[in-house]
């Protein structure tokens, strides 16, 4: 996505090396970018997150989106309209990739740095279980 600033343009899709903190990567499917706006993160992230509900901030580029993480009581789910706003605000499409890097995690706040990797993968190349439907404890953004 390009943004005009004066006579020059900058690319809002920033990339940076991972810092060594926990991260997960996913390929977006239809259910993540259209109603129901649900995204399952791989269950390996469950052990990194608190079991109680806390506010969440997704940082992507120079913008931040606020969500609420419901913890174990909500089946490891982000419960707010924040995910849909993130999808719409970043013009995310089926086939785009995201890297969620856990930059802060406490009993009072979770923060993920998110990188967007644009891609138009043919639907037949996206694994059926990429949404976490086969995992025991998925995390749902919604």
Tell me if 133 is assigned to some domain: no
Domain around 45: 23-120
Per-residue pLDDT for the chain (142 aa), expressed as one digit of tens each?
Answer: 433 333 223 345 567 788 899 999 989 989 889 888 877 767 788 888 888 888 999 999 899 999 888 776 665 566 678 889 999 999 999 999 999 999 999 999 999 999 999 986 556 666 665 544 444 445 555 5
Tell me if 68 is assigned to some domain: yes
Tell me if 108 is assigned to some domain: yes
Looking at the structure of the chain, the number of domains it has is 1
- Measured in residues, the chain has a length of 142
Per-residue model confidence (pLDDT) at position 77: 62
Per-residue model confidence (pLDDT) at position 13: 59
Q: Which helix (H) or strand (E) holds 82?
A: helix 82-89
Tell me if 140 is assigned to some domain: no
Per-residue model confidence (pLDDT) at position 50: 87
CATH assignment at residue 111: 2.40.330.10
Residue 30 DSSP code = H
Per-residue model confidence (pLDDT) at position 9: 30
Per-residue model confidence (pLDDT) at position 43: 77
What region does 37 belong to: left with phi over 0, alpha with psi -120 to 50, or beta?
left
Tell me if 8 is assigned to some domain: no
Single out the residue of 9, 1, 140 nearest to residue 63, CA to CA.
1
């Amino acid at each position: 996505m390009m943004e005009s600033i004066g006579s020059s343009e900058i690319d809002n899709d920033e990339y940076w090396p991972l810092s060594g903190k926990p991260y997960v990567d996913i390929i977006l499917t239809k259910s993540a970018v259209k109603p129901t706006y649900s995204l399952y993160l791989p269950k390996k992230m469950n052990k990194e997150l608190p079991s109680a509900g806390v506010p969440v901030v997704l940082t992507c580029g120079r913008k931040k989106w606020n969500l609420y993480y419901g913890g174990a009581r909500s089946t490891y789910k982000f419960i707010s309209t924040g995910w849909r706003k993130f999808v719409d605000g970043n013009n995310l499409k089926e086939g785009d990739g995201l890297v969620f890097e856990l930059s802060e995690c406490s009993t009072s706040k979770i923060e993920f740095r998110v990188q967007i990797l644009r891609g138009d993968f043919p639907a037949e190349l996206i694994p059926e279980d990429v949404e976490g439907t086969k995992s025991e404890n998925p995390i749902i953004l919604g």
